[in-house]
Structure 1
Amino acid sequence: MTGHIMDTAIVACQYRVLIAGGCYGGLSAAVNLLEKCDALDLPISIDITIVDERDGYYHIIGSPLAMASKEYAQKAWVDYKDVKRLQRPNVTFIQGTITNVDCESRTATISEHKTQKTREESYDFFIAATGLRRTWPVVPQACTREAYLTEVGAHCDRVLSSTAPVLVVGGGAVGIEMAAELKLTKPSVQVTLAHSRDKLLSAEPLPDMVKDCALELAEQSGVEVLLNHRLASSIPIKNSDGSLLYEVEFTNGHKMVASEVITAISNSIPSSSFLPRDALDSDGYVNVRPTMQLPAGVPNAESHFAVGDMIHWSGIKRCGGALYEGKIAALNIHQIMLQQLQKKEPEFTQLSEIPPMIGLAVGKNGLSYGSEGMNYGPQVMQIFFEEDLGFRIVWDHLRLGGITA
């Protein structure tokens, strides 16, 4: 940390910021808040603590490729100690779970994974960015990089050595991308994508032309797509060589044999149980104001923020939305700090309603839809994802590798 930030003659007070979640929304909040508080004209001294169940930053939108490529899996998880931009004296990472937040006393209860001990952490500002709890294999369940590589490596070995078709169940964005990435990684593997409805992406508020385009691109990538196929049963059987196969039957009577059955239906649940019930909707999503602050009825609501996939807001859950919401939380916390230090009326940034938009990686082609309409093709893939499902784009956007001259 530079000397001027630590100069107590300049710094009026010390703020403690606790962030639950070390992925897109949480890291965006941390990076943007540090940038504002490092400002030369009015440096503000802050301590940031980031709590996450994992021991590193995991690029969640890269999961479809991590599940098909051991080489990519190595890249997609970065130990927090190797996130250079946040290696500074006033940033602390804790691998653990926040089990309760007492908004009135501004104290959080943290269960630390390594020590198995529980601790209390006081704060001035709290940001919830724990996202959604997604099931395997939509997202790896391991909490350490070592366990993750073992978990994902075993999955890659099974699917890449398949002789019978690999069946991916669920034609949402995750299922489409998982099927297409597996086919792209190893074209010789037969991949079948089964979806219970008559169009892919059926759960998303998107026009039919987008859903039809997703189908066309999936089939172009070499994936066999079965629409109106709801899985009824999947029974393991022994192959003649001793390997395990699955006898699959759908509710329409269609049967097939698969070497692997990958369930890409997430049934995601917000990771919000640590927050007051008054802050949540009936499904557990966090109600927030456009400033990302919790509802006014929550004690000290002005000091508590929530961002990312866990919030109740319009639009399709996206990495870009989480990054922007984390930035809004940081900017507004900084405004409150300025109000307290300088008696300056805060100018809050507010999140607008988000219309349906999506970026989809389908093998070598990308598909995008938003206010500009629909686009697809290799050029869309390059703009939205490049060759690593957006890892470099996000990493460099947040400058997690450090600030270069």
Structure 2
Amino acid sequence: MGGGASALEDVHVLVVGGGFGGVAAAQQLQSAGLSFTLVDMRDAFHHNVAALRASVQQGFAQRTFIPYAQTFGQRFVQGRVVRVDTERQTVVLEDRTELQYSHLLLCTGTDGPFPGKFNTVASYQTAVQRYDDLVKEVQEAESVLVVGGGSTGVEMAAEIKTEYPDKKVVLLHARIGLADPELTPSVRREAKQVLLEKRVQLLLGQKVSNLSQLPVNVTRRNTQVTTDKGTKLNTDLILCCTGSRVNSDAYAASLSGSLAEDGALKVNQHLQVQGFSNVYAVGDCANVDEPKMAYHAALHAAVAVGNIVNSLRGKELTSYHTGNVTMLLALGRDDGVGQFAGVRLPRLLVALGKSRDLLLWKSWREMKQRQP
């Protein structure tokens, strides 16, 4: 390949964040034969699409964590990135280790409350234990309050009611409409219908006024909850499914001139971070106007890695274009709602396509490992 081969040999791509986007990028870099390092604060990929089921089924969490080292070997480094130095082209870890790069892929994703997210410096054994501990709390509770009726809250309520149909489950949401606003109205109405069929009680258009003072993820009998509308209710267990935010801690100070208001990185059509030709943002931390989904993160990764290769070979860069929203909500292992390219799908099709296994098979296959 002449000069192109020489350029490729000088490349070392640093991938910060081992979520769906980061792992997809690392796999594509591996296939392209490019030198790379993947950095994440955990030692295993978290298939968090299945995190909510891991909260209600004992032993399920073990299937949702896939060790990085078995797939990427020494190209994986565990640590928390605290600073990006674009002048020296290095990132600095919390333990002061410095990692050099020629190209940087920022794939830091979003953060939010447990159990939907587990963004903590920890071994996967520790993470699995925490989910298994939460299962015991759910089993002990006679009543559960799920706070937040976005897609995560809707799925959480459905998972509990599917596994434990005799428990009282209340879903409290600040808005009237449930699930993601990017879903068509008919799909959102159908999600509500499924919850009502499962006998989930809905409190819509209300907020918990004393949430910061309440115990979450731990069973406390007859905990009193008050809403901003004056509604009072007692519950044994509170699960919080609100407050997702862009995880910008690794780069906020260093790339402050490229930040959007929510902490995401402003990118051009090639997914290059504003002001840089060798820094890309992939997945939830990219300021792209579309829902934050694993599916989109993988599409971003393909464009970003392809553009690194294209730039080295002097080829034209590829643009990323958003399409019609495709989104599936698993409402327990036996039901689900969703849409493909904006068209509502039959519930049975969603249940068979996603809800039964939550696409775990796909992550294990792509990581070239066998499920336990």
Question: If the length of structure 1 is used for normalisation, what is the TM-score?
Answer: 0.82
Mapped partners of 2:309, 2:348: distance in 1: 40
Aligned-partner residue type, residue 179 of structure 1: A
Aligned-partner residue type, residue 161 of structure 1: E
Cα separation, partners in 2 of 1:402 and 1:141, compared to 1, 3 Å: closer
* Structure 1 residue corresponding to 2:149, chosen from 164, 171, 187: 171
Aligned-partner residue type, residue 170 of structure 2: T
* Offset of residue 95 of structure 1: 1.1
Mapped partners of 2:138, 2:355: distance in 1: 24
Higher normalized strand content (fraction of residues): 1
Aligned-partner residue type, residue 255 of structure 2: P
* Structure 1 residue corresponding to 2:106, chosen from 128, 136, 141: 128
Q: Please state whether the residue corresponding to 1:69 is helix, strand or coil.
A: coil
Aligned-partner residue type, residue 318 of structure 1: M
* Offset of residue 323 of structure 1: 0.7
Give a deviation string over 1:11-52, Cα, whole Å, max 9, x none: 663321111011111111111122223xxxxxxxx3211110
* Offset of residue 57 of structure 1: 0.5
Give a deviation string over 1:105-153, Cα, whole Å, max 9, x none: 2121122xxxxx3122111111000111222233134422122123222
Cα separation, partners in 2 of 1:221 and 1:250, compared to 1, 3 Å: same
Give a deviation string over 1:141-190, Cα, whole Å, max 9, x none: 44221221232222111111212x10101110000111111222222322
Unaligned runs of 5+ in 2: none
Query: Could you say which residue in structure 2 is the equivalent of 1:392?
Result: 361
Between Structure 1 and Structure 2, how many residues are aligned? 357
Query: Could you say which residue in structure 2 is the equivalent of 1:118?
Result: 96
* Contact 1:204 1:316 survives alignment (8 Å): no
Mapped partners of 2:226, 2:247: distance in 1: 32
Mapped partners of 1:292, 1:141: distance in 2: 24
Aligned-partner residue type, residue 316 of structure 1: P
* Offset of residue 272 of structure 1: 4.9
1:193-342 aligned at under 5 Å gives the runs 193-201=171-179, 204-233=181-210, 244-274=221-251, 275-295=254-274, 298=275, 301-339=276-314
Query: Could you say which residue in structure 2 is the equivalent of 1:7?
Result: none
Aligned-partner residue type, residue 326 of structure 1: A
Cα separation, partners in 2 of 1:279 and 1:354, compared to 1, 3 Å: farther
CA RMSD of aligned residues (A): 2.3
* Structure 2 residue corresponding to 1:352, chosen from 321, 333, 337: 321
Cα separation, partners in 2 of 1:294 and 1:191, compared to 1, 3 Å: same
Give a deviation string over 1:206-241, Cα, whole Å, max 9, x none: 43222211100122233222222322336779xxxx
* Contact 2:84 2:250 survives alignment (8 Å): no
* Offset of residue 250 of structure 1: 2.2
Mapped partners of 2:53, 2:193: distance in 1: 20
2:343 is the counterpart of 1:365? no
Give a deviation string over 1:273-294, Cα, whole Å, max 9, x none: 4241122112211111121111
Mapped partners of 1:128, 1:269: distance in 2: 12
Cα separation, partners in 2 of 1:125 and 1:213, compared to 1, 3 Å: same
Cα separation, partners in 2 of 1:227 and 1:62, compared to 1, 3 Å: same
* Structure 2 residue corresponding to 1:188, chosen from 161, 166, 190: 166
* Contact 2:20 2:294 survives alignment (8 Å): yes
Q: Which has the larger radius of gyration?
A: 1
Mapped partners of 1:209, 1:228: distance in 2: 19
Give a deviation string over 1:286-338, Cα, whole Å, max 9, x none: 1111211112xx2xx11111100011111111110001101111111111222
2:48 is the counterpart of 1:60? yes
* Contact 1:166 1:189 survives alignment (8 Å): yes
Unaligned runs of 5+ in 1: 1-9, 38-45, 112-116, 340-345
Mapped partners of 1:371, 1:61: distance in 2: 20
Query: Could you say which residue in structure 2 is the equivalent of 1:401?
Result: 368
Question: If the length of structure 2 is used for normalisation, what is the TM-score?
Answer: 0.89
Mapped partners of 1:34, 1:153: distance in 2: 34
Mapped partners of 1:102, 1:233: distance in 2: 41
* Contact 1:166 1:261 survives alignment (8 Å): yes
Mapped partners of 2:48, 2:35: distance in 1: 27
Mapped partners of 1:248, 1:196: distance in 2: 14
Mapped partners of 1:290, 1:210: distance in 2: 30
* Structure 2 residue corresponding to 1:107, chosen from 71, 90, 93: 90
Q: Please state whether the residue corresponding to 1:262 is helix, strand or coil.
A: strand
Q: Please state whether the residue corresponding to 1:231 is helix, strand or coil.
A: coil
